[in-house]
Amino acid sequence: MKQLSVAVLLLTMLTNSVIAQKKITSWNKNQVIAHRGAWKKNNLPENSIASLKEAFRLNCFGSEFDIHMTLDSVMVVNHDATFLGIPIAKSTYQQLLAKKLPNGESIPTLESYLKTGMTQKKTKLILELKPQNMGKERDLFLAQRAIEMVKKLKAEVWVDYISFSYDICTYIIGHMPNAKVAYLTGDVAPEKLKADGFFGSDYHYSVFQKNDWITPSKKLGLTVNAWTVNTVPEMEWLLANEIEFITTNEPELLFETIKKSPIQKGWKLKWSDEFNGKGLPDTKNWTYDVGGTGWGNNEKQFYTNADTANVMVDKGNLNIIARKADKEGMKFTSARIASRKKFDWKYGRLEVRAILPKGKGIWGAIWMLPTDWKYGNWPKSGEIDVMEHVGYEPDSVYGTIHTQSFNHSINTQFGKGLKMNDLYTAYHVYGVEWYKDRIDFFIDGNLYMTFKNSGKGSPEWPFDQTFHLLMNVAVGGNWGGKKGIDESVFPATLKVDYVRVFQK
């Protein structure tokens, strides 16, 4: 009977422990990890208890913090190897207490940080172990001490681990097999991380833009986190690629970006070009329309073929450049690139983030044409002008639809212009959402025009076939050159940050 009572007691304790663990692990369901806590907006000290609590208040999934070890082996929370000018590794904890953070806090210890974190059950603690630059033995001692503290406080469920040191990471994996450990440096492929027992990769976002590691990581069951992401375009790209976590100094901005993300509305990224290379555009994505035939509009430029004088990817942008240069009887050169036969699509959401070219006589365009011309030549098969801008109207952009029934040749085109005052200095996102029953036009996420399918067939709605994207800078032409060409404005550049196509 006594043995049975003991067994029942042990079973009850185990059951209660499991229930407690389940209650603990109700983490916030979002991608936001506050980098060194949520400090920036309210001017709190980084890695302070105050910034940690602000991350809790914001309901971040996680709050990242950094630890170093003092001369007397006390683990403290601080990003740099020095605390307000005091070298941490060469000073005792008592010596560090001589200075205070701007809000009056003393430098937090790992113990106090963990205890604060354990007062809540929604935000994880992302513990970064800083290499000490004092040899491998010192680094592993730091890892050992951190593990001991986590176990002492029974904080295992709250804590995930990250480090720039592969040795520190593998030490933790070896001594805490259930720990979630991610590597920061960005020089190890997903396959090796998986083989070595890592939970995921936690790389600078540029690593994922350079290497196609997001999809392979997911297929291997690794989580993907990117750091430190503080601007909307990069946040949007990572969200579009359905990355699990984003570490940021701007958690409030990231929460707002998540709310506005196409992913939240059921869109899936199908194709994109972020223009992160250098040189000519990627031939996997783009082809060239070449020649100086006037292009049906009496345009005055010659479109060149893969010439870096007219089209160049550099510093994260595609640059399409119109120049004053003689070419085959034309006085100007430029480029017109197309995704034709590289990526064609029917229905979906297109986004192009761009700064427009400036100058009288310049005609920049982001537009779409049918790939197979199902209903015959222009305008029977349709045209979607996502954005057109003529330089003699420096404060206006236009979205337009062309079909057999609605086109400029018979003055029936369907379109709308918007007034904007910073087209040459600020990026704007020009986009359309193309559905079976309508096409919606947007600038910066704001709907300004809708063209509806009347149900009267292809003369009014030829948009039931695949289209492709074109981008170009024309010179002159029936519309662009209506007020003449100012030859002092060259070179004139359409600067494109990214192109993205989503579908449901």
Residue 247 has φ and ψ, to the nearest 5°, of -95, 130
Map out the domains of the chain as residue ranges: 20-261, 287-503
Q: How confident is residue 502, by pLDDT bands cut at 50, 70 and 90? A: very high
Give the pLDDT confidence score for residue 15 in this predicted structure: 47
| pLDDT tens digits, 68-119 | 999 999 999 999 999 999 999 999 999 999 999 999 999 999 999 999 999 9
Encoding tokens for residue 196? Answer: 């070595």
Model confidence at 18: pLDDT above 80: no
Model confidence at 187: pLDDT above 80: yes
Q: What is the mean pLDDT of the chain?
A: 95
DSSP for 160-190 reads EEEES-HHHHHHHHHH-TT--EEE-SS-S-H
| pLDDT tens digits, 407-424 | 989 999 999 999 999 999
Residue 460 is given by DSSP the state T
Residue from 128, 351, 383, 433 carrying the catalytic annotation: 383
Q: Please give the average per-residue pLDDT across 172-184, as a whole number.
A: 98
Give the pLDDT confidence score for residue 133 in this predicted structure: 86
Model confidence at 7: pLDDT above 60: no
Buried b (16+ CB within 10 A) or exposed e, 470-487: bbbbbbbbebbbeeebee
Distances in Å between the alpha carbon of 216 and those of 26, 186, 274? 28, 15, 19
Give the pLDDT confidence score for residue 2 in this predicted structure: 46
Model confidence at 345: pLDDT above 50: yes
Q: How confident is residue 316, by pLDDT bands cut at 50, 70 and 90? A: very high
Q: What angle do CA 227, 232, 236 make, to 5 degrees?
A: 80
Q: Are 124 and 27 in contact (CB under 8 A)?
A: yes
Domain boundaries 20-261, corresponding CATH code: 3.20.20.190
Give the pLDDT confidence score for residue 24 in this predicted structure: 56
Q: What angle do CA 269, 270, 276 make, to 5 degrees?
A: 80
Q: Please give the average per-residue pLDDT across 319-347, as a whole number.
A: 99
- Residue at 300: amino acid letter: K
Q: What angle do CA 387, 235, 368 make, to 5 degrees?
A: 20
Q: Please give the average per-residue pLDDT across 166-185, as a whole number.
A: 98
Where residue 73 falls (left for φ over 0; alpha for ψ -120 to 50; beta otherwise) is left
Residue 253 has φ and ψ, to the nearest 5°, of -65, -40
**250 flagged as catalytic:** no
Residue from 54, 128, 351, 388 carrying the catalytic annotation: 388
Nearest alpha carbon to residue 116 among 175, 48, 70: 48
| pLDDT tens digits, 434-444 | 999 999 999 99
Q: In the chain, pLDDT over 90 holds for what percent of residues?
A: 94
**252 flagged as catalytic:** no
Q: Are 28 and 38 in contact (CB under 8 A)?
A: no
Q: Are 233 and 316 in contact (CB under 8 A)?
A: no
Q: Is the peptide bond before 216 cis (omega within 30 degrees of 0)?
A: no
Distances in Å between the alpha carbon of 111 and those of 77, 101, 202, 345? 9, 18, 24, 55
Model confidence at 433: pLDDT above 90: yes
Which CATH number among 2.60.120.200, 2.60.40.10, 3.40.718.10, 2.40.40.20 corresponds to the domain 287-503? 2.60.120.200
- Residue at 179: amino acid letter: A
Encoding tokens for residue 433? Answer: 């959402």
Model confidence at 225: pLDDT above 50: yes
DSSP for 119-160 reads T-SSSEEEEEE---SS-HHHHHHHHHHHHHHHHHTT-TTTEE
Distance CA 210, CA 204 (A): 10
Q: At what angle do helices 49-58 and 251-260 cross, to 10 degrees?
A: 20
Note whether 20-261 and 287-503 share their fold.
Answer: no
| pLDDT tens digits, 347-361 | 999 999 999 999 999
Model confidence at 475: pLDDT above 90: yes
Which pTM value belongs to this model? 0.89
Nearest alpha carbon to residue 234 among 52, 31, 40, 64: 31
- Residue at 91: amino acid letter: S
